[in-house]
């Protein structure tokens, strides 16, 4: 097989159905651009969700107990895998916090010595609302625990909004990918149709199925490279310069996995894959329909 011939025919295929090829590349460009933007937004939404989860604390108020019992309680709490850290707040510290939050008027109330000692627990970010609630119910049964408080409504809202975001974003992403593949499929189909007589002649002189298909695969890959490269440049410019210029707060949000090139590379690879798969799909189907066995 001549590599030069395959590459030459692959490039030439872009010119045989120019309008269809441009439409396909534009569609691929829009598709991977939207997927890249959705992924970046989804990743940042996930980061914000994790940050909010870390800020949700469970507060365990204690009955009066001596230092030994307090240490035993601390050890028992830390045995729970869902608790990543805790802070002990003594009765004196609780009174100081109360005065700081309520100002001068809170001194007289704080001196009544009614505030109990407590532990503030940091919960694992991977814990769901149901797991946190189960953990709270368990801690409530510990001897020496007076009351356990945590903002369940906030956790439920965060979990619900996150699930909705990922479901909607995933559905949109799948739809976009399918549309892009169908457009590549149609473009390669038009190219195959334009070469139908040549394909039949090649088959008659002994050309293999793989040899006939390869130029069309190259054409699909080329469409992916062009569309992915342009989309990658737009995404980088959009999130690195354009959006931070108008909304500076966006500039503090990190790129997925901490580096810009992971997302950019992913966009290009995705575009190439879509171009290759769409062209492979069309080549196998329509070459077979022409009487050329696949």
Q: Are residues 36 and 161 in the same domain?
A: yes
Other C-beta atoms closer than 10 Å to the C-beta of 147 total 12
Q: Are residues 11 and 127 in the same domain?
A: no
- Judge whether 205 lies within some domain: yes
Total domains in the chain come to 2
Q: Are residues 253 and 217 in the same domain?
A: yes
- Domain boundary (150, 177, 206) is at 150
- C-beta of residue 125 within 8 angstroms of C-beta of residue 54: yes
- Domain boundary (114, 130, 150) is at 150
Q: What is the pLDDT along the chain (294 residues), one digit of tens a residue?
A: 567 767 777 777 677 667 777 887 888 898 899 899 888 888 888 887 777 776 677 888 888 888 888 889 989 998 888 888 888 888 767 656 555 555 554 444 444 455 788 888 888 877 877 888 888 889 989 988 888 888 777 777 777 887 888 888 888 888 888 887 787 777 777 777 777 777 777 777 777 777 778 888 888 899 899 999 999 999 999 888 888 888 776 666 788 888 888 999 999 999 999 888 888 887 777 776 665 444
Q: Are residues 143 and 122 in the same domain?
A: yes
CA-based torsion, 105, 111, 112, 117: positive or negative: positive
- Domain holding 104, by residue range, is 57-150
What is d(CA 66, CA 126) in angstroms, rounded to the nearest whole number?
34
Which CATH number does the domain housing residue 132 bear?
A: 3.30.70.3040
What is d(CA 133, CA 220) in angstroms, rounded to the nearest whole number?
52
What is d(CA 187, CA 19) in angstroms, rounded to the nearest whole number?
9
Q: Are residues 266 and 217 in the same domain?
A: yes
Q: Are residues 46 and 75 in the same domain?
A: no
What is d(CA 248, CA 241) in angstroms, rounded to the nearest whole number?
10
- C-beta of residue 51 within 8 angstroms of C-beta of residue 174: no
- Judge whether 294 lies within some domain: no
- Judge whether 145 lies within some domain: yes
Q: Are residues 15 and 97 in the same domain?
A: no
- Domain boundary (116, 150, 184) is at 150
> Alpha-carbon dihedral of residues 7, 11, 13, 18, nearest 10 degrees?
170
- Judge whether 23 lies within some domain: yes
What is d(CA 56, CA 135) in angstroms, rounded to the nearest whole number?
14
Q: Are residues 130 and 274 in the same domain?
A: no
Q: Are residues 188 and 279 in the same domain?
A: yes
- C-beta of residue 213 within 8 angstroms of C-beta of residue 283: yes
What is d(CA 111, CA 230) in angstroms, rounded to the nearest whole number?
67
What is d(CA 243, CA 65) in angstroms, rounded to the nearest whole number?
55
| Residue from 148, 146, 150, 144 nearest 75 by CA | 144
Q: Are residues 77 and 219 in the same domain?
A: no
- Judge whether 102 lies within some domain: yes
């Amino acid at each position: 097989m001549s590599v030069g011939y395959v590459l030459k025919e692959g490039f030439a295929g872009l010119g045989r159905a120019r309008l269809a090829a441009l439409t396909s590349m534009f569609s691929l460009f829009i598709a991977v651009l939207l997927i890249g933007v959705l992924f970046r937004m989804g990743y940042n939404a996930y980061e914000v969700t994790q940050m909010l989860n870390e800020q949700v604390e469970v507060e365990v108020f204690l009955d009066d107990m001596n230092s030994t019992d307090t240490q035993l309680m601390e050890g028992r709490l830390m045995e729970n895998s869902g608790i990543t850290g805790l802070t002990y707040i003594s009765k004196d510290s609780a009174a100081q916090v109360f005065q700081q939050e309520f100002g001068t008027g809170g001194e007289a109330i704080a001196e009544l010595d009614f505030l109990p000692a407590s532990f503030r627990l940091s919960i694992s970010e991977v814990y769901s609302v149901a797991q946190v609630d189960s953990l709270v119910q368990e801690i409530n049964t510990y001897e020496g625990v007076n009351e356990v408080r945590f903002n369940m409504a906030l956790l439920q809202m965060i979990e619900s909004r996150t699930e909705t975001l990922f479901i909607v974003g995933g559905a949109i992403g799948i739809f976009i990918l399918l549309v892009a593949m169908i457009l590549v499929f149609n473009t390669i189909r038009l190219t195959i149709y334009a070469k139908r007589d040549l394909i039949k002649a090649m088959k008659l002189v002994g050309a293999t199925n793989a040899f006939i298909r390869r130029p069309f695969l190259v054409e699909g890959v080329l469409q992916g490279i062009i569309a992915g490269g342009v989309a990658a440049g737009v995404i980088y410019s959009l999130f690195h310069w354009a959006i931070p210029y108008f909304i500076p707060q966006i500039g503090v949000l990190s790129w997925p996995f901490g580096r810009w090139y992971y997302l950019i590379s992913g966009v290009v690879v995705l575009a190439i894959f879509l171009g290759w798969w769409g062209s492979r799909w069309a080549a196998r189907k329509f070459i077979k329909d022409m009487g050329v066995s696949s």
